[in-house]
Amino acid sequence: MKELARTNPLESMGRKLRSLEALLKDPAATASERATAAALKARLEEKLRAGRGDDEDADWTAFAFRLGRKLQEIDAATAPPPSSRGPARLGFRLGRALGAGLKKWRSASS
């Protein structure tokens, strides 16, 4: 459910349009279902056109905002998460343990 919340709204509208088209092509659909699906399809197509900025009067600030959001997502996706396991973490811990042991050994032998 969380994964659905992170999807692009334009992609979700596209999925809805594809499902409505499938309903319209279904021979078992009733006339009222087809009329409702056609009306929903027209509304979704209008929202999709407005969201994509296909209009000539599209505001450039919306495009800049979406571009900034995408760049933030890309920046967040490229940074690798810190590893809490694996050979690097094990080597770090082993080095700290050996360093502490060596420090104790040197202070005891003095």
Helix (H) or strand (E) holding 27: none
Residue 1: pLDDT over 50? no
Q: 76: Cβ–Cβ under 8 A, 6 or more apart, which residues?
A: none
Residue 90: pLDDT over 70? yes
> In the chain, helix, strand, coil percent, each to 5?
75, 0, 25
Burial 56-75 (b: 16+ CB within 10 A, else e): eeeeeeeeeeeeeeeeeeee
Average pLDDT over residues 76-97: 76
Whether the predicted model's global pTM rises above the 0.75 cut: no
Can you give the pLDDT at residue 24? 80
The Cα 75–Cα 71 span in angstroms is 6
**Residue ranges of domains in the chain:** 2-55+85-109
| Distance, C-alpha 48 to centroid of its chain | 19
Q: For the chain, what is the mean pLDDT?
A: 76
The Cα 47–Cα 71 span in angstroms is 24
Q: Mind listing the pLDDT tens digit for each residue in 30-82?
A: 888 888 888 888 887 787 777 665 555 556 677 778 888 887 887 766 666 66
- With a pLDDT cut of 70, the percent of the chain lying above it is 75
